[in-house]
Amino acid sequence: MAASAKPRRAAVIGGNRIPFARANSTYAKASNQDMLTASLEGLVARFGLAGEPVGEVTAGAVLKHSRDFNLTRESVLGSSLAPTTPAYDVQQACGTGLEATVLVANKIALGQVESGIAGGTDTASDAPIAVNEGLRETLLALNRAKTPGQRLKAVARLRPGQVVPEIPRNVEPRTGLSMGEHMAQTAAHWGVTREAQDELAVQSHRNLAAAYDRGFFDDLLTPYLGLTRDQNLRADSSVDKLAKLKPVFGRGDGATMTAANSTPLTDGASVVLLGSDEWAAERGLPVLAHLVDAQTAAVDYVTGHEGLLMAPAYALPHLLERQGMKLQDFDLVEIHEAFAATVLCTLAAWESESFCRDRLGLDAPIGALDRTRLNVNGSSLAAGHPFAATGGRIVASLAKSLEERGSGARGLISICAAGGQGVMAILEAA
């Protein structure tokens, strides 16, 4: 592309999500497709898109059935969007929703589409359960067998232990450690205290409850299966109450991570409507914000060189340099609360002179963040975290918050993901 042909910025027009439910509760029997379709339906209704096509719909799920190979397209076909709307699936663990947003925004920026919907869905309740690996190999061998002898041989390989199914686990395949155990190591490394984590969790609940009370979610959320608010939200949460909980991750006296300062398993879905300014104007649709920039990063957590969820810390300097900004220039910052410790470790790393120098190659530390700008409408500790749905939740909420603050306000989104990855994006109020 010629230097003069600067790509246009994609507009964030609005979003929709269903309330997030705790796993094995209200949405226990809802599939990923059900929830993604419901989110799309609410979005279509909000913006009057029934019967209309959009450029493309991009979404995904982290825990996915093999039958859902075309999850997003199937959801589109089950929605009120025109059946001529193309769709594809993406998957980048917990970064899925934000990565999908970046993908759609980039196509809009390049003029390849005029509009698009990005999103994600996840269910920890209606999880895919696979047959035991040994049974799978036996069944495939049986399928390949051509003679009665070969069949008999294959069947002879059946063993009682093979009836035990494969249930998806929240574990890093290369370390065998759960995400919580990884986080506990990082939290210990940065000396993040139990009190600081509990305070962050309480603040998340308070901020989310306040946002509901002032009607902030009236045009961001559509009730589903009788749920009108995030089920995990505890408006009366307090540091005293949380202090009574026993740690669930980490070992011994140093264990600080509890069920309250870690996100629970959650079911839900979210979608974001993006478009060119022209597309929005033609339809009289509002433009809340534009996607300014995005950056992904990954860390070597397998050897223990870096913490599993620290990748966003590495993505930020690239964004700041490209945009000529400081962390402190952002009006609002959204750091996904996989665990309270994730947020606190990331902030601590940015304040650390040695980390910024040795790991990020910076002359000076990125510095402290004004905490009043952080997760102002609550985040995953309160709302819950249906993996792929978190990105869409944050993009739509942040775009609206920035719009409320006025034109030019900038916001940063940071989402950590399994596999030592991180996705970041910058939004600017239109």
When the beta carbons of 24 and 80 are compared against another protein, the nearer one is: 80
Active-site residue identified among 182, 205, 336, 416: 416
> Under rule CB under 8 A, how many of the chain's residues touch another protein?
25
In angstroms, rounded to a whole number, what is the distance separating the alpha carbons of residues 144 and 122?
A: 34
Pick the closer one to another protein by CB: 228 or 328.
228
Exposed / middle / buried, residue 360 (Cβ in 10 Å: 0-12, 13-18, 19+): middle
> Which has the closest alpha carbon to 312: 328, 325, 299?
299
239 near another protein, judged by CB under 8 A = no
Binding another protein by CB under 8 A: which of 23, 30, 32, 47? 47
Structure tokens at 304: 């223990």
Asked if 182 interacts with another protein (CB under 8 A), we say no
284 in contact with another protein (CB under 8 A): yes
Q: Which of 7, 29, 50, 241 binds another protein (CB under 8 A)?
A: 50
Whether 94 sits among the annotated catalytic residues: the reply is yes
Rounded to the nearest 10 degrees, what angle do helices 148-155 and 133-144 cross at?
A: 170
84 is an interface residue for another protein by CB under 8 A? no
Instruction: Look at the alpha carbons of 358, 363, 365, 370 in this order and tell me if their dihedral is positive or negative.
Output: negative
| 218 forms part of the interface with another protein (CB under 8 A) | yes
**In the beta sheet, which residues pair with residue 6?**
none
In 3D space, the residue among 338, 314, 330 whose CA is nearest the CA of residue 408 turns out to be 330
- Rounded to a whole number of angstroms, the minimum distance from the CB of residue 55 to another protein is 20
Residue of 150, 170, 193, 228 that binds another protein (CB under 8 A): 228
* 163 belongs to the binding site for another protein (CB under 8 A): no
Indicate whether 345 belongs to the interface with another protein (CB under 8 A). no
Task: List Cα–Cα distances, 314 to 289, 300, 307, 370, in angstroms.
Answer: 25, 11, 11, 20
Q: How far, CA to CA in Å, does 56 sit from each of 64, 116, 350, 356, 424?
A: 21, 5, 37, 39, 22
Q: Is 356 a catalytic residue?
A: no
* Member of 179, 285, 382, 394 binding another protein (CB under 8 A): 285
Q: Count H helices and E strands in the chain, helices first.
A: 14, 12
Query: Residue 336, interface with another protein (CB under 8 A)?
Result: no
- Output the smallest distance, CB 138 to another protein, in A: 45
Active site residue 416: yes
Instruction: Name the residue nearer to another protein (CB basis): 221 or 242.
Output: 221
- Residue 254 phi, psi dihedral angles, 5° rounding: -80, -5
| Contacts with another protein, residue ranges (CB under 8 A) | 38, 41-42, 44-48, 50-51, 80, 215, 217-219, 221-225, 228, 283-286
Give me the active site residues, please: 94, 385, 416
